[in-house]
Amino acid sequence: MNLNAMKRKAAGLLDAVGVNWLGQRLQTAVLFPFVRVVNYHDIKAEQAENFELHLQYYAANFANVDESALRTFLEDGTWQRPKPGLILSFDDGMRSHFEVAAPLLEKYGFTGWFFVPAGWICERLTENTEAAANVGEQSTLTMTQLRYLDKNHVVGCHTETHCRLSSDHQPEKLRYEVLGAKSSLEEILGHDVRIFCWVGGEESSYSKPAAELIKQGYDLSFMTNTAIIRPDTNALQLQRSNVEAENTLALLKFQLSGIMDLIYYPKRRRVNRLTA
């Protein structure tokens, strides 16, 4: 049995005995109000039905969070909804985000947060050989699709070439991936971009020099180290929980139960110290 199969089986057992349900209820009872962020990658057409089950679960248990609601919550703690908040984020600028995810998000009243490597936009791949080596043009958003998502949802920067921002990179490379990407995305969208998302969840994907550059160009920054957002959360250290469209509902509930928050605590603390 591979690791993914083991995770699904364990999550199913925990769900059957009520652990996932209990974890979610304890979080709401003790930590409310809070916002949870989840992140997806490609949403394949054959996964749409399962992804819709996720959305039905979210709609029953969470309130949608758009950019204005998040900023208000972080600034003064204002939260006037009976349920915890949820941000649904999508990495890598995949065309399926426009074709599959966005229509379903809109059906259930959710705002998508789309984190895009500027160099991966279809029309720009031919201009950027480094980016083109990593992704097929047919799978990436077009400029028209990206602008639609920007108008109707939220779009943020995910570096220029989907680069993990380790300290191994030279300063000029980090500047290109953080601030150069910001300029590229702003040129496409026609407005200031103040939201960033780190690439990769590995501890080595984070570095102090990159964090300093992010502070220069952005005021919201997302990571992937699994924790809820509360009013006192650092706006440049907003954590996400990774889920994927093929995940069973039991596995999704496990990811949101708070158990993974505890498991990730040591790593999250080290990353937060490094990037503070």
Q: What are the tens digits of pLDDT across the range 109-125?
A: 999 999 999 999 977 76
Provide the 3-class DSSP secondary structure of residue 150.
helix
**164 touches 189 (CB < 8 A):** no
Q: What are the tens digits of pLDDT across the range 227-259?
A: 999 999 999 999 999 999 999 999 999 999 999
Mean pLDDT value of segment 97-105: 98
Q: What are the tens digits of pLDDT across the range 137-166?
A: 568 999 999 999 999 999 999 999 999 999
Token pair belonging to 33: 């109000």
Alpha-carbon distance of 179 to 60, in angstroms, equals: 39
Alpha-carbon distance of 87 to 266, in angstroms, equals: 24
Residue 122's pLDDT is 75
Q: Where are the domains of the chain?
A: 3-275
Q: Is the pTM of the predicted complex or chain greater than 0.85?
A: yes
Read off φ and ψ for residue 165, nearest 5 degrees. Answer: -95, 55
Q: Residue 94 above 60 pLDDT? A: yes
Report in angstroms the alpha-carbon separations of 220 from 68, 199, 207, 239. Answer: 12, 15, 17, 11
Provide the 3-class DSSP secondary structure of residue 113.
strand
Return the closest-CA partner of residue 235 out of 83, 87, 92, 73: 73
Alpha-carbon distance of 145 to 133, in angstroms, equals: 22
Which of the four pLDDT bands, split at 50, 70 and 90, describes residue 14? confident
- What's the CATH code, domain 3-275? 3.20.20.370
Residue 135's pLDDT is 61
Q: What are the tens digits of pLDDT across the range 20-64?
A: 999 999 999 999 999 999 999 999 999 999 999 999 999 999 999
Count CB atoms within 10 A of the CB of residue 18.
10
Which of the four pLDDT bands, split at 50, 70 and 90, describes residue 7? confident
Q: Give residues with Cβ within 8 angstroms of 209, minimum separation 6.
A: 167, 171, 174
Tell me the percentage of the chain whose pLDDT exceeds 90. 87
Positive or negative: CA dihedral 95, 101, 107, 108 = negative
Residue 6's pLDDT is 76
